[in-house]
Amino acid sequence: MTFSLWFDTGGGGLPGRANRLQSGVRYRDEDSFTAALRRRLPSRGRVRLGIGDDAAVLAGGTVLTVDGYRQGVHFDLHYLSWREVGARCACAALSDVVAMGARPDALFVTLALPPAARRRDVTALYRGLDSVCARLGCEIAGGDTIAGRELLLALAATGRTQCPLLRAGARPGDGLYLTGQAGAAETGRLRLARDPAASRRNPAVSRHVRPRPRLEAMLALRPRITALIDTSDGIAGDARRLARASEVRIIIAPEHLPTLTATRTLCRRSGRDLTEFILTAGEDHELLFCARGPVPGRAGAVPVTRIGRVERGRGLWLERAGRRQRLTLRGYDHLRP
Amino acid sequence: MTFSLWFDTGGGGLPGRANRLQSGVRYRDEDSFTAALRRRLPSRGRVRLGIGDDAAVLAGGTVLTVDGYRQGVHFDLHYLSWREVGARCACAALSDVVAMGARPDALFVTLALPPAARRRDVTALYRGLDSVCARLGCEIAGGDTIAGRELLLALAATGRTQCPLLRAGARPGDGLYLTGQAGAAETGRLRLARDPAASRRNPAVSRHVRPRPRLEAMLALRPRITALIDTSDGIAGDARRLARASEVRIIIAPEHLPTLTATRTLCRRSGRDLTEFILTAGEDHELLFCARGPVPGRAGAVPVTRIGRVERGRGLWLERAGRRQRLTLRGYDHLRP
């Protein structure tokens, strides 16, 4: 998701039922797996931007990202319908295109169908995929379906822009901003895991079940944005990637992180640390960006919140009541033991 | 493969260990599955060519195809190394780009890795994928890796052309041509299934293990080609798709089908009908095309053979010794019961 450009080794995922790459394939974390592959595979000058962002940029300004999703890891049919699975996966893939500053054009769907799949399941899955495309004006333009032991989707999403918004580009003095609320989708997921029939109108449930890529917000904010990523592996991990790509220090003021009442209630009742929860919760698919100059507090219907700032230096820091601490929390990572 | 543009429901595959979409998902065949989905999913004008060929064509001339491959269905690690699996899958995907008349630019790799996979297996797989890219001057430009129960690859391949070569375009009076030999890859696969250590220098084994998309041949023949497809599901199925897309009748003269000695020997010894074998054997990834005017007998190192012709009418016919019969043989189809 967030990190498809290069080897997103499964970004996102359900923290509650983590399914890591165990077995003989051991890497320190996703970024080191990515880096190892990247060193081995030569560039041959055919791609305008090939490595290190949410998506690749081909000649002519075509943006392309690929992502894999698996039952039990990236979605759960125990509390999602096939249609909802389609919508979630389409949003995750198309959100990476939006996070490059591009308008989505097409979605390509490779599907591995388990023996238990019925014809109406496949139809519902495609309806869900197409529902997100319809909202963005793009279309499903191709695919492949094979039989498999378990349900797996591999999506390729394309878009176009002559001027991609990259992770690198943040400069000291920029503010750090977030659209929507932090941790909303994970709050919704935990609610659904307890009660699969939970109302889809609940804002947290809705963000998990029917997330929408923030295309309008991106287009509205675009002139101000210096660096952009979408939140899929948790704000901590995604902000760290912005800091690393831009070679700057990013400071987050956790009391400014916007949250739903449902998220605060969840943390209070379950004894979770609110800051830790919202910094590591994945799958929100909000825009996390650095910007210079005034940024409006809303972009259409979507709230935009300043949650920190950019300084000279390195790394990711938390600042509360004037005291700083280095942030070592990470988002969800398939490869970390 | 051949038919990725729209919903290739698993084109290619190992006929010996067919793994069809059983379960509740029943369609008459792949083309009807494709047609059913196609009717449901609206076009929104974002894609230049979205349905009905080897790959889609996006704005700006970007060609894009996606394909899924699964252990035991599309390749077999019992007699292929991880590196060879990578090379075979990369060839299949990139061959679809070549079959659009485009130069391949980039390959994107979504991988589901089973628990038994080791780090060196992954490295070897990527080496195999990149070996084909290196031959074509293109590059691996992104990917995603997740854990899965079985090894699955989903590849997206891109290229560019301002003037795609389509399946539709054949006209009465054209000749029908094939590069290389028919049935070579399947001959090699059967040899390997018997003897996994069979020499990789054997021409049939080599076509199965290290197939190469026919890029140079396509570029050389391009000015003559009126309609083009790559052979992945067997000549019968692929020629039928040419005939249907071009709304013409195609007549194949089976005695003209070029074959390796190894293929003829295999059929004689095993009591197989040679014509049936070569018309249904998949995974050759040769160019099957219609052309007007003189066509050279070689394109670089690759033999080019006239195997039939195009007439007014419909359907696919076989002509031997002046007698015609309608050809009902089909290639490999994941969805046919």
Q: From the centroid of its chain, how far is CA A330?
A: 14
* B87 bridge partner residues: none
In this prediction, residue A25 carries a pLDDT of: 53
Consult the annotation and say whether B74 binds a ligand.
Answer: yes
Name which residue leads in pLDDT, A334 or A89.
Answer: A89
In this prediction, residue A53 carries a pLDDT of: 77
Are B118 and A9 within 8 A, CB to CB? no
In this prediction, residue B119 carries a pLDDT of: 83
Least confident of A107-116, A231-240, A295-304, B41-50: B41-50
Q: Is the dihedral of CA B289, B293, B297, B302 positive or negative?
A: negative
In this prediction, residue B31 carries a pLDDT of: 66
Consult the annotation and say whether B276 binds a ligand.
Answer: no
In this prediction, residue B330 carries a pLDDT of: 64
Say if CB B185 and CB B207 are below 8 A apart.
Answer: yes
Are B7 and A44 within 8 A, CB to CB? no
In this prediction, residue A11 carries a pLDDT of: 38
Where do you find CATH 3.30.1330.10 in chain A? 15-160
Q: Looking at the complex, report in whole angstroms how far the Cα of residue B111 sits from the nearest Cα belonging to chain A.
A: 7
Task: Report CA-CA distances (Å) from B100 to A59, A144, B52, B65, B227.
Answer: 18, 17, 12, 10, 9
Please tell me the total number of residues recorded for chain B in this structure: 337
Where do you find CATH 3.90.650.10 in chain B? 175-326
Say if CB B160 and CB B61 are below 8 A apart.
Answer: yes
Task: Report CA-CA distances (Å) from B263 to B184, B185, B188, B191, B235.
Answer: 7, 9, 9, 10, 15
pLDDT band at A177 (very low <50, low <70, confident <90, very high): very high
Q: From the centroid of its chain, how far is CA A210?
A: 14
The DSSP element (H or E) to which B10 belongs, if any, is: none
- From B147, B204, B78, select the one nearest A71 (Cα to Cα): B147
Across all residues in chain A, what is the average pLDDT? Answer: 87
A288 token code pair: 């996390």
pLDDT in tens, A70-119: 998 899 999 999 999 999 999 999 999 999 999 999 999 999 999 888 88
In this prediction, residue B109 carries a pLDDT of: 95
A164 token code pair: 């991609």
**Selecting from 3.40.50.300, 3.30.1330.10, 3.40.30.10, 3.30.420.340, what CATH number does the domain A15-160 have?**
3.30.1330.10
Q: Residue B71's closest chain A neighbor by CA?
A: A148
Secondary structure of A55-80 in the HEC alphabet?
CEEEHHHEEEEEEEEEECCCECCCCC
- From A99, A76, A105, A103, select the one nearest A89 (Cα to Cα): A76
Are B147 and A10 within 8 A, CB to CB? yes
User: In percent, how much of chain A has pLDDT > 70?
Assistant: 87
Q: Which residues of B touch A59 (CB under 8 A)?
A: 62, 105, 160
Number of Cβ within a 10 Å radius of residue B42 = 12
Q: Looking at the complex, report in whole angstroms how far the Cα of residue B103 sits from the nearest Cα belonging to chain A.
A: 10
Residue A8 has pLDDT above 70, yes or no: no
Consult the annotation and say whether A200 binds a ligand.
Answer: no
Nearest by CB: A68 against B11, B22, B144:
B144
Consult the annotation and say whether B313 binds a ligand.
Answer: no
- From A336, A288, A332, A330, select the one nearest A310 (Cα to Cα): A288
Task: Report CA-CA distances (Å) from A198 to A189, A202, A210, B131, B181.
Answer: 10, 8, 14, 50, 59
pLDDT in tens, B220-263: 999 999 999 999 889 999 999 999 999 999 999 999 999 999 99
Q: Looking at the complex, report in whole angstroms how far the Cα of residue A265 sits from the nearest Cα belonging to chain B.
A: 33
What is d(CA A213, CA A133) in angstroms, rounded to the nearest whole number?
Answer: 10
In this prediction, residue A98 carries a pLDDT of: 97
Which residue's entry shows tokens 């199965």?
B208
Contacts made by residues B125-128, CB under 8 angstroms, sequence distance 24+ = B125/B82, B125/B83, B125/B85, B125/B86, B126/A37, B126/A40, B126/A41, B126/B86, B127/A40, B127/B83, B127/B86, B128/B81, B128/B82, B128/B83, B128/B84, B128/B85, B128/B86, B128/B87, B128/B88, B128/B90
B145 token code pair: 């890796």
In this prediction, residue A146 carries a pLDDT of: 87
Nearest by CB: B46 against A27, A111, A138:
A138
In this prediction, residue A330 carries a pLDDT of: 64
Name which residue leads in pLDDT, A9 or B44.
Answer: B44
- From A36, A144, A289, A72, select the one nearest B157 (Cα to Cα): A144
What is d(CA A198, CA B250) in angstroms, rounded to the nearest whole number?
Answer: 57
Name which of B27, B53, B110 to mutate to probe chain A: the one with the most chain A Cβ atoms within 10 A of its Cβ.
B110
| Residue B77 DSSP SS3 | coil
pLDDT band at A29 (very low <50, low <70, confident <90, very high): low
Residue A244 has pLDDT above 70, yes or no: yes
In this prediction, residue A229 carries a pLDDT of: 96
Check residue A50 and report its DSSP letter: -
B316 token code pair: 């696919």
In this prediction, residue A24 carries a pLDDT of: 45
| Residue B88 DSSP SS3 | helix
Fold of A175-326: Phosphoribosyl-aminoimidazole Synthetase; Chain A, domain 2 (3.90.650)
Rounded mean pLDDT, A246-261: 96
Q: Looking at the complex, report in whole angstroms how far the Cα of residue B26 sits from the nearest Cα belonging to chain A.
A: 7
Residue A10 has pLDDT above 50, yes or no: no
A20 Cβ contact list (under 8 Å, min separation 6): A334, A335, A336, A337, B147
Rounded mean pLDDT, A148-161: 95
Nearest by CB: B64 against A20, A127, A158:
A158
What is d(CA B262, CA B260) in angstroms, rounded to the nearest whole number?
Answer: 5
Check residue B223 and report its DSSP letter: G
Name which residue leads in pLDDT, B54 or A135.
Answer: A135
- From A20, A214, A32, A16, select the one nearest A132 (Cα to Cα): A214
Are A37 and B61 within 8 A, CB to CB? no
In this prediction, residue A15 carries a pLDDT of: 38
Consult the annotation and say whether B27 binds a ligand.
Answer: no
What is d(CA A290, CA B334) in angstroms, rounded to the nearest whole number?
Answer: 49
B183 token code pair: 């049935």
What is d(CA A108, CA A65) in angstroms, rounded to the nearest whole number?
Answer: 10
Say if CB A102 and CB A219 are below 8 A apart.
Answer: no
| Residue B123 DSSP SS3 | helix
Q: Which residues of B touch A37 (CB under 8 A)?
A: 126, 143
A130 token code pair: 């197409």
Torsion of Cα atoms, A303 then A304 then A307 then A312, to 10°: 170
What is d(CA A208, CA B58) in angstroms, rounded to the nearest whole number?
Answer: 31
Are B112 and A56 within 8 A, CB to CB? no
Least confident of A1-15, A37-51, B40-54, B74-88: A1-15
Name which of A4, A9, A46 to mutate to probe chain B: the one with the most chain B Cβ atoms within 10 A of its Cβ.
A46
In this prediction, residue A30 carries a pLDDT of: 63
B215 Cβ contact list (under 8 Å, min separation 6): B98, B103, B104, B136
Residue A335 has pLDDT above 80, yes or no: no
Rounded mean pLDDT, A4-20: 37
Name which of B75, B145, B150, B332 to mutate to probe chain A: the one with the most chain A Cβ atoms within 10 A of its Cβ.
B145
Are A8 and B121 within 8 A, CB to CB? no
Q: Report how many Cβ contacts below 8 Å link chain A to chain B.
A: 297
Consult the annotation and say whether B54 binds a ligand.
Answer: yes
B317 token code pair: 């016919």
Nearest by CB: B25 against A119, A133, A137:
A119
Q: Which residues of A touch B42 (CB under 8 A)?
A: 130, 134, 139
Secondary structure of B138-194 in the HEC alphabet?
CEEEEEEEEECCCCEEEEEEEEECCCCCCCCCCCCCCEEEEECCCCHHHHHHHHHHH
Q: Which residues of A touch B67 (CB under 8 A)?
A: 110, 144
Q: Residue A46's closest chain B neighbor by CA?
A: B105
B3 token code pair: 């038919």
Task: Report CA-CA distances (Å) from A42 to A46, A51, A276, A280.
Answer: 11, 11, 38, 33
Written as tens digits, the pLDDT of chain B (337 aa) is: 222 333 443 334 443 333 344 444 555 566 666 677 777 788 898 888 876 678 899 988 999 999 999 998 899 999 999 999 999 999 999 999 999 999 999 999 999 999 888 888 998 999 999 999 999 999 999 988 888 999 999 999 999 998 999 999 999 999 999 999 999 999 999 999 999 999 999 999 999 998 899 999 999 999 999 999 999 889 999 999 999 999 999 999 999 999 999 999 999 999 999 999 999 998 999 999 999 999 999 999 999 999 999 999 999 999 998 899 998 866 555 444 4
- From A218, A26, A62, select the one nearest B142 (Cα to Cα): A62
Residue A120 has pLDDT above 60, yes or no: yes
Say if CB B64 and CB A108 are below 8 A apart.
Answer: yes
